[in-house]
Structure 1
Amino acid sequence: MSQGRPSTRQLMLLGLAQAVLFVAGALLGRWLGLALGLDAFGSGGYSNSAVFGILLIGLGGGAGAQLARAWFTRKYGSPRS
């Protein structure tokens, strides 16, 4: 773990990791929703199953971004320092 401010390269790595894991988490949330019968993009409008499918996509994307941030903090320290 380094001390001081993270370099620009390290911060770009954080942004890339967050973007990739956000998309991966959202896709996992989508697939989990489909497996549970919660189609976020179904033709039924905003039914309960669609809303919960959207919720799973959002939770998956957010979890992926948080996972990337936790990895960065463990490896390089807090990006806010």
Structure 2
Amino acid sequence: MNQKSLLLEGLSDAIGFMGGALLGYWIGRLLGLDIFAEGYGNSAIGGIVLVGLGGGLGLQLARRWRKRQKAKEES
């Protein structure tokens, strides 16, 4: 792999993860879940789970996008 493809991989992973995590955070906020609540109550745990799921889904979407771009270039 060359440096350009490694940079694209890193940036797309970071953008996908952060975008998904932020989306999970704001969905949690809309549902009344606060990841910054004092202690580890149900609200905080639910918010943390949504942020984690959002980050993971965003990362997977970024990787699928990259795979699709690579397939386009090869064909």
Residue from 42, 46, 55 that aligns with 1:52: 46
1:32 aligns to 2:27 (yes or no): yes
Residue 7 of structure 1: CA displacement?
3.5
CA distance in 2, matches of 1:64, 1:14: 14
Identity of aligned residues (%): 54
- What number of residue pairs does the alignment pair up? 71
Specify every segment of 5 or more residues in structure 1 that has no aligned partner in the other structure, as ranges. Answer: 1-5
Residue 76 of structure 1: CA displacement?
1.1
Corresponding residue for 1:12? Answer: 7
RMSD after superposition: 1.3
**Structure 1 counterpart SS, 2:65:** helix
Instruction: Give the structure-1-normalised TM-score.
Output: 0.80
Runs of 4+ in 1 over 6 A off after TM superposition: none
Structure with greater contact order relative to length (CA < 8 Å, sep ≥ 6) = 1
